[in-house]
């Protein structure tokens, strides 16, 4: 079902003007960070089709302001740009968590560093490889990051937004929540709801979708779930 919805979504946004197309496309891919609790999401914009690479340079400041999100360019090449979108507090929470930071110290990070300094180190390492520690920035549990590094051929117990080797039920719940965030973005656009307003309301009232529909007070978000 979600594949059919995504196909309909992409068809709908293809009819939009360039800026709104770019915003809707990004919003879908980073929905778990926009409207859920995933600290960051990384995507690559390229020059194919609408040339999102060029559009991003034109409209990135407006996107950040409209959706209340931060971003950091990890890598820029001739045919594509890789960007980490993040919520500042959520990213701080995972980076400076005691055990996570102890792990990150092995790659040159320090507690005294600011978020921007940590991102600068990550970017520097990203130039030549996809650094394993990016998993921490993306909200992947430390145990799963370490297992992937030490035993890359080990069969995972669950595969979704990352390869999960432990705490499977917790990961399953997160995967479902992240998928739901994407589905909600799709349905908001298909129902003609202003996407930036939808994002703001879901942040202020994270349970609004479940609560309002069942209390009969649904307005803006009725029918999203």
* Average pLDDT of every residue of the chain: 89
12 alpha carbon, distance to own chain's centre: 22
Distances (CA, A) of 30 to 36, 45, 80, 157, 220: 10, 12, 17, 25, 21
- Domain boundary assignment for the chain: 2-215
pTM: 0.89
Query: Does residue 151 register a pLDDT over 90?
Result: yes
Region for 126 from its dihedrals, namely left if φ exceeds 0, alpha if ψ lies in -120 to 50, beta otherwise: alpha
pLDDT tens readout for residues 178-207:
999 999 999 999 999 999 888 888 876 655
The answer to whether the Cα torsion of 170, 87, 200, 30 is positive or negative is negative
Query: Does residue 215 register a pLDDT over 50?
Result: no
Give the residue from 32, 200, 39 showing the smallest Cα distance to 115.
39
pLDDT tens readout for residues 126-149:
988 889 999 999 999 999 999 999
pLDDT tens readout for residues 2-55:
778 899 999 999 999 999 999 999 999 999 999 888 999 999 999 888 899 999
What confidence category does residue 65 fall into, taking pLDDT thresholds of 50, 70 and 90? Answer: very high
């Amino acid at each position: 079902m979600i594949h059919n919805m995504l196909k309909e979504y992409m068809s709908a946004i293809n009819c939009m003007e360039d800026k709104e197309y770019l915003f809707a496309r990004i919003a879908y891919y980073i929905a778990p960070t926009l409207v859920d609790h995933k600290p960051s999401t990384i995507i690559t914009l390229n020059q194919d089709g609408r040339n999102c690479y060029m559009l991003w340079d034109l409209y990135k400041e407006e996107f950040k302001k409209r959706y209340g999100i931060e971003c950091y360019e990890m890598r820029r090449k001739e045919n594509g740009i890789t960007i980490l979108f993040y919520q500042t507090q959520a990213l701080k929470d995972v980076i400076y968590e005691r055990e996570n930071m102890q792990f990150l110290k092995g790659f040159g990070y320090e507690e005294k560093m600011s978020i921007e300094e940590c991102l600068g180190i990550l970017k520097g390492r990203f130039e030549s490889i996809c650094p394993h520690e990016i998993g921490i920035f993306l909200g992947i549990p430390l145990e799963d990051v370490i297992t992937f590094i030490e035993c890359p051929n080990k069969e995972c117990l669950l595969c979704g937004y990352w390869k999960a080797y432990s705490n499977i039920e917790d990961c399953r719940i997160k995967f479902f929540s992240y998928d739901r965030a994407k589905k909600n973005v799709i349905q908001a656009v298909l129902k003609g709801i202003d996407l930036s307003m939808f994002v703001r309301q879901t942040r202020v009232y994270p349970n609004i979708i479940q609560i309002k529909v069942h209390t009969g007070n649904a307005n803006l978000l009725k029918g999203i779930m």
